[in-house]
Structure 1
């Protein structure tokens, strides 16, 4: 193939520092599907990428056709820290923090907000955002030092940061709503109805809830767990809790041609 016009690469280099890296076809697909502004997208194999669009994302195929520029594989690899098997990458504009905070603060809410209290594992944070988007949660907020828009988190979330409000806040800045914090000493969640406007807080993988968040909780709830088992993975805990909420409060989002699972990471 011939070298591409230099414009997409110059755009990439100009925007890379402040943009969100969409790492792989599925991240790009979800970002486009949920309205992200994507100024540049590249692939080492445009034909294969568009074949994936035909198979998995016909609703955004036309947009991807216009967006994707083919570049040599060596160029693609130079743009990303860890090449994705689909050989696709893009840059997106991060949503406004102010707009996300307004969305999180708006009441009444139809779906919960998930709080990750001082999380440590980037991959787990990404998996939680993917879960929350799938359940139609209002948003995911983190406390502590982990950046929920870190490229590894976005990769783990498959680009679904653009389907829900994702921000880092302090405990004092948590969105309004009854705060249900997951804690081994809490009441069994199976006996509790989680309201649609709940704020669902989960402690870190290693140390659990921080003292500040635990003190602010309106309710402590616990997931059922066999004795002598130490804990669940963070994403598993969030999935179990959102599923419990969904049994009574969940309104399924309209699906169009969106696939809830099975279309890759």
Structure 2
């Protein structure tokens, strides 16, 4: 027997006047909300306390089956949130349909709250600083890494919006698990700034403190002059001669791993 609570067709038997049109809600909320693109983005956002305004799927049964398999802790919450719509309707709401056919809109965390988390002292984990990044996917991967390692937050300088839908997609919704903001170099939170640079001291000879700011230059041009001038330490990752560079997310992963392996680790 079908459980009415999990049967999208059950909603049709209710009083239409009491039903909320998810598409109308979506259209109203979309300009200011964070797009959660795919099942995993919604799962993580719910898990870390996001305020989800509306969630839709073109296949509710498949989405809840994924929840049963991968996210039992938030399965009931997802069942409450998800409304089934047609594939055509779903595709009309998102710029690039996700293979899981799930999408949602959430309220962006309060900027003042994020800034307070970034500035709080003493910190128990570093802040990752991306200095004028260019690649949206790389920025999203860094947010995912930072959340996984329990970093205090991710700060970008320059023009890239760290809450761009492509960044959120790359971060799998884990923006809600850490503090993500865009600041100028002058606005960076307090703490010793360790900037990654090929001319720096070998990271293997250092212990990175929990209150550190770990700064990474852009994929193409490296550290800006402004951030280099602000740096307290230049740090180099081990690299074979004649290899020009690592991918940005790889550099962040190596640095956070070194921090965690030398005394700082997520609970």
Report the TM-score range of the alignment, normalised by the length of the smaller protein. over 0.9
**C-alpha separation in 2, matches of 1:103 and 1:6:** 36
| 2:39 aligned with 1:25 | yes
**C-alpha separation in 2, matches of 1:73 and 1:199:** 44
Match of 1:251 in 2: 265
**C-alpha separation in 2, matches of 1:39 and 1:6:** 12
| 2:147 aligned with 1:147 | no
Any stretches of 5+ residues in structure 2 without a counterpart? 1-7, 13-18
| 2:70 aligned with 1:56 | yes
The count of corresponding residues between Structure 1 and Structure 2 is 253
What are the equivalent positions in structure 2 for 1:1-265 lying under 5 Å apart? 7-253=21-267
**C-alpha separation in 1, matches of 2:52 and 2:129:** 27
Q: Which has the larger radius of gyration?
A: 2
Match of 1:256 in 2: none
When normalised by structure 1's length, the TM-score is 0.94
**C-alpha separation in 1, matches of 2:140 and 2:101:** 20
When normalised by structure 2's length, the TM-score is 0.93
**C-alpha separation in 2, matches of 1:89 and 1:11:** 13
- Once the two structures are overlaid, the 10-residue window that deviates more, 2-11 or 72-81, is 2-11
Please give the per-residue CA displacement for 1:99-153, whole angstroms capped at 9, x wherever unaligned.
Answer: 0001000000000000000000000000000000000000000000000000000
Deviation >4 Å, runs of 4+: 1-6
What is the deviation of 1:248? 1.9
Task: Please tell me whether the aligned partners of residues 44 and 173 of structure 2 are also in contact (alpha carbons under 8 angstroms).
Answer: yes
User: What is the aligned-residue RMSD (CA, Å)?
Assistant: 1.2
Any stretches of 5+ residues in structure 1 without a counterpart? 254-265
